[in-house]
Structure 1
Amino acid sequence: MRDTSPARGTSSARSTSSAPRAAEPPRAAEPPRAAEPSRAEPLWATEPLRAARLEAALGDPFDPENPHGHLALLRADEARETPEATEALLAEAGLAAEFVPHDLGGRLTGLEELARVLRPLFRRDLALGYGYGITSLFAASSVWTAGNEDQRRSLARVLLGGGRVTIAHREVAHANAILRNEMGAEPRPGGGWLVGGRKDAVINAHRADAFVMYARTSHGDGPRSHSVLILGPDAPAAGEVRRLGRVEMPGMRGAHFSGLELDGVVLPDGALVGAVGDGVSLALRSFQTSHCLIPGTVLAGVDSVLRLAVRAATESRPDGRPSRRRQKVLAGVFADLLACDAMAVTGLRAMSLMPEQSYLLGAAVKYTMPDLLREDLEELATVLGGRGYDRGPLYGGFQKLVRDLPVAGLGHAGTALCQAVIVPQLPTLARTAWFRTAEPPAALFTPGAPLPLFDHRRLAHSSTDDLLTATLVGVAGRLEGHTGHGPLHAGLAALAQAFVAELRVLRARCAALSGAFDPQACALADRYALVLSAAAVLGLWEAQAAHGDAFLGDPAWAVLALSRIGRRLGVRMADLPDGVVEAVLDEALDRCRQRRSLDLYGTRLAG
């Protein structure tokens, strides 16, 4: 076998078979477990120690002398280079161990905790977050989900030994370059697999130690058309692995995408993950992690832009407050971020608490959040004005994030894939689940609270219940008795009832669907996903009002967030109660002054 790769310094680095490997994966120390939040203990106090250490190590992003700050990262992006100093820091911190399950020697015990550990990185640079490591998790997820013990331990050794794993996706119609073209595999008469094909854009193909490939093993289309194969660090028995030239992407310019071509590659029987034809099923199961993790980490980048907008709106203002014209935008985007985080964190927690029921929720998170985040960036552009075109360290992160988001899986292809999950489920959900499913436990809506160990192997790709619509109906019913507690509670109760009414309309319209992908079904999927986002807001507000964070337990942010979701649905909304925008804006301004993040956790930041 020959591994034909361009020389170092052009578009490739090394053969998959040359890197040294540890004999056995080292056992990581037991990770610190999050404490139960309480009013006396704000959510930022439960930040995982590893996340706080990474934030401190990355340092003040606005310090021009910081090798991991905005100036250095923007220069690397403009030069389309990997920020080597920061990658070295992440390697020293052992970040790859975050992507390896705890029973295999890594630190991965829960996806909510993983997202919190990764947010310091994604606040600064999406390309670095993808290029350094999170891609390795998405590639390895199918092996963590259905691989045998030898496969799981072998891949764990690659990651814990400092190697990288990347993924060769199957081809998806009307998709981007990352999802175009595919590998094909056929069984050999004497055993094993003969693999060939080409992918034009594979992240880290030039330096990956192992490839997880969704290869076509059937000439026909359908759910059994593809299988998952591992091309590991050991050289295949025959054939060529060609690592082709670099592909320049419009965004995430510091990440390295390049072509990969396999010609007559022979792999052993042990390269097959699961059974023949399991590829689509495995993708549906294992990609649930990315459906929530991508929005849940990318949100940190939008958090950074919101803080930039607050800076722009308050500089040179003697009272330190934005003009009235900008207050509504800043408060509204902050409420949107909290709503998006409520949905993402709920999805991440569901995969530990009830993994058999998290499939639909994960798809809805990935389906809804990209549009909300893109709309928020458009609103923030009106606040930033000319600063939004700045290429310097202070405001240059805005244009970079606008370029990076579509490449980060938040474009058309990601939306279409999630539609393919949601649309066929709508008729069944309408007939059997809505207004019938039991409510999920309150722990689903308690960020930072302890969780059972996450196990990829428990993920399913079908469910009969709908967790969040049950929450919507339950919270709305309980709020009916709170209308006398003041205008904020009355406003929240009215909003909750408006979304319940929308769910009733959806039930009637979706029950009549055939399950086909037509414009009406896609429009109803849009509305359904927005209803779920409203349910996540209500569930999180109620849990925090009972025993959680003082700000998140106040109705103001939930009223503002729900009113914005309702306007997107075209639902007629009453005027906001007095003081809602001011209360939400005050919290955003306080957090910016205190250097705290603008997500659910209000994390302490380095700058």
Structure 2
Amino acid sequence: MTGTVQTAAAAAVASAPGGPPGRWEADARARAARLETLLGDPYEPANPHGLRALFDADGRRTPPPETEALLDEEGWAAEFVPAAYGGRLTRADLLARALRPVFRRDVALGFGHGITSMFATGAVWAAGDERLRHEVAALLLGGGRATILHHELAHANAILRDEFTARPAPGGGHRLYGRKDVVINASRADAHVVYARTDAARGPRSHSVFLLDPARAAPGTMRHLPRVETSGMRGALFSGLEFEGRDVPGDTLVGGLGDGVALALRTFQVNRSVICGVVTAAADTVLHSAVRAATTGRCGPVARRWHKPLTGVFADLLACDAMATVALRALGLLPGRAHVCAAAVKYVVPDLLREDLEELAAVLGGRGYDLDSPEYGALDKLVRDLPVAGLGHAGTASCQAVIVPQLRTLAETAWFAEEEPPPELFRPGAELPALDYRTLGIAGGGDFMAASLAGSAARLAAGRAVGGQIGALAELAEAFVAELRALRETCRTLPAYGSRGLADPAVCVLSDRYSLLVGAAAVLGVWEGQDGTDPFLADPAWAVLALSRLGARLGVPVPDLPDGCVRQVLDELIRRYRSGLGCDLDATVLAQ
């Protein structure tokens, strides 16, 4: 890894895109809009960046070269570099917004061409010294890539699994041994961020992180393994790496010796939240396809049998966006307390999206699996891509590993006992602090989402007598609070065995219940935070439908949907489809 940043950090701050905090959001929106325009109409057959071209590249199992070149020309990798080092990264929620135009079209492209570099370099922004930070910034800003080689966080509670071992070397430094067979961009990364075991003893100080330049490996000490073909994300380049005594100098250590597990826990909460914030855009594309299928060739209204799946999925996507947005904002506003929220959101959102794709499959029928049809084939690709995308970030089990050990403490000390979070957490357009990886916490910090849920229910309580949609919203809020009370009583009885509870399925189910409560709190908070600028979001219909679906999954009492609720949501969905607007909280203007 070579290159240096020519400007000092202070000068980079002054010249970085976005300038002062008040302009960060406007700049991020402008960048996202520009990229959306450059990528063009995804349904235009002749568009080199459209779905047909992306489907074709997927069929050939190659990255789409023209679109990768476009992203390079736009300096897309700068989104992952903090503004203090010459990049565009300010807030995590704005990062997700800037990435969505790519993920809306191709999850594999989003992973393979960019977000993997974010996974890898997070440890450097969290604990690297100034030299390493400048080197990484120069690498990414110059168009380079980084990849992450970590223990199997994504597939089991194996945060301490030792696929790589770094042993002390004579004369200082370490020598690296071990292999990993499936690494995205292993063959074309300019930097490897390696999580390796440096202490034979099991424990939180067992692993360390090293930033390595593959070009500097001595002959015979690093071997590239063959490419691995996957069922999904077929255009991403997965292959393996094997280290056979590669020298690892002391100046490649990120943070301190033994910091690896803590760095994984700190940085993966960013990864989890960003993933949730961007994959929802891919599901948005499938929902648009389903609306097209339900409306094309019809003179009258949408057939009644499609009302429930279409409106239900739309409400779910708004709920997923609310959850991800809250988690992303919390990373900057409440960095020492965001880890449980991030894990809960990552726990819920993928499950909702998988269920949503099943519902949309019923609307699309066989057309959803026709990759020769850019208007409808996005379903097939996303169904295949989402499970494989789990290789790039912490999976369900590692989210449980964050949540379960804290449930008893939260029940005893936090639930119904702490103050609500600042209203800026939920307020659109609020100015928030920048993301600073160094301030992210990994334990303790209470539970601001539970406090928000209780506060929302208390404010809505009087609405139960009003009836209608407000009355239904108040009933739903109280039902979720009652579930939190019941969960508190159960969790107070848990043994104080920490992570050992992950071996007990009955205990793991508690993380299910808790995570859905966090989702409900996010929906209520976002609805309460509306300023009326968007009449649809300010109206309770979408929140009632979203909470009803969350409540049904949780098994809490769900009132009948008020008259007109589904119709309002359906009308808005059709309006957005016909106007070329996204099904997110921003109603993003889409290229047509």
Same fold (TM > 0.5): yes
Residue ranges of structure 1 left out of the alignment (5+ in a row): 1-16, 38-42
* DSSP-derived class of the 2:241 partner: strand
- Tell me which residue corresponds to 1:558: 543
| Alignment partners' CA distance in 2, 1:244 and 1:177 | 23
1:103 to 84, 88, 99: 84
- Normalized against structure 2, the TM-score is what? 0.94
Q: Which moved more, 1:216-225 or 1:328-337?
A: 216-225
Q: Match for 1:193 among 174, 183, 187? A: 174
My pick for the range that moved more, 462-471 or 347-356, is 462-471
Deviation at 1:220, TM superposition (A): 2.7
Distance in 2 between residues matched to 1:189 and 1:341, nearest whole Å: 52
Q: CA–CA distance in 2 between the matches of 1:233 and 1:260?
A: 10
- Look up the match of 1:500: 481
CA contact (8 A) 2:160 2:261 kept: no
- Residue correspondence of structure 1 range 579-598 to structure 2 within 5 A: 579-598=564-583
Partner residue in 2 for 1:13: none
Matched, 1:429 2:415: no
Contact 1:345-1:447 at 8 Å conserved across structures: no
Show the counterpart of 1:377.
357
Deviations 1:375-423 (A, max 9, x none): 0000111111121221222211110000000111189960001000100
Aligned with residue 115 of structure 2, among 125, 129, 134: 134
TM-score where L is the length of structure 1: 0.92
Query: Which deviations, in whole Å up to 9, do the C-alpha atoms of 1:265-285 show, x marking residues without a partner?
Result: 112111111111111111000
Q: How does 1:359-508 map to 2 (within 5 A)?
A: 359-392=339-372, 393-409=374-390, 414-508=395-489
**Equivalent-residue separation in structure 1 for 2:72 and 2:154 (angstroms):** 36
The answer for the alignment partner of 2:37 in structure 1 is 56
2-structure distance, mates of 1:308, 1:161 = 37
Q: Show CA shifts across 1:549-583 (max 9, x none).
A: 32111111111011111100111212111000001
Q: How does 1:163-242 map to 2 (within 5 A)?
A: 163-172=144-153, 175=156, 182-232=163-213, 235-236=216-217, 240-242=221-223
Aligned counterpart, 1:156: 137
- Amino acid corresponding to residue 334 of structure 1 in structure 2: F
Query: Residue 302 of structure 2: SS of its match in structure 1?
Result: coil
Q: Deviations over 1:63-110 (max 9, x none)?
A: 111000000000000010110000000000000110001111111001
> Is the deviation greater in 178-187 or in 57-66?
178-187
What CA distance in whole angstroms lies between the structure 2 residues aligned with 1:308 and 1:422? Answer: 36
Q: Relative contact order: is structure 1 or structure 2 higher (C-alpha 8 Å, sep ≥ 6)?
A: 1
Aligned to 2:96: 115
* Cα displacement (A) at 1:548: 4.5
2:516 corresponds to:
530
Alignment check: 8 A CA contact 2:232 2:385 kept: yes
Q: Distance in 1 between matches of 2:311 and 2:572?
A: 9
**Code of the aligned partner of 2:578:** R
Q: Does 2:18 correspond to 1:31?
A: yes
Q: Distance in 2 between matches of 1:528 and 1:120?
A: 31
The answer to whether the 8 Å contact 1:181/1:198 transfers is no
The structural deviation recorded for 1:174 is 5.5
1:32 and 1:383, CA in 2 relative to 1: closer, same or farther beyond 3 A? farther
Q: 510, 519, 529: which is aligned to 2:505?
A: 519
Aligned CA distance change for structure 1 residues 73 and 174 (closer, same or farther; 3 Å): closer
Distance in 2 (CA, whole Å) between partners of 1:434 and 1:88 is: 50
Does 2:266 align with 1:281?
no
Residues in 2 aligned to 1:172 and 1:503: alpha-carbon distance in whole angstroms: 29
- Contact 1:292–1:348 (CA<8 Å) still a contact in 2? yes
Letter in 1 for 2:521: A
Paired residue for 1:575? 560
| CA distance, structure 2, for counterparts of residue 22 and residue 226 of structure 1 | 28
2:541 maps to a residue whose letter is A
Q: Distance in 2 between the 1:512 and 1:215 partners?
A: 37
Aligned partners of 1:313 and 1:326 also within 8 Å: yes
Decide whether the 8 Å contact of 1:363 with 1:422 is kept in 2: yes
Aligned-residue Cα RMSD (Å) equals: 2.3
The code of the aligned residue for 1:480 comes to A
The letter of the residue matching 1:585 is: L
Structure 2 regions of 5+ residues with no counterpart? none
Counterpart Cα distance in 2 of 1:176 and 1:259: 22
Report if the CA contact (8 A) 1:390-1:396 is conserved: yes
Q: In 2, are the aligned partners of 1:178 and 1:200 still within 8 Å (CA)? A: no
Report deviation, 1:483. Answer: 3.5
Share of identical aligned residues, percent? 58
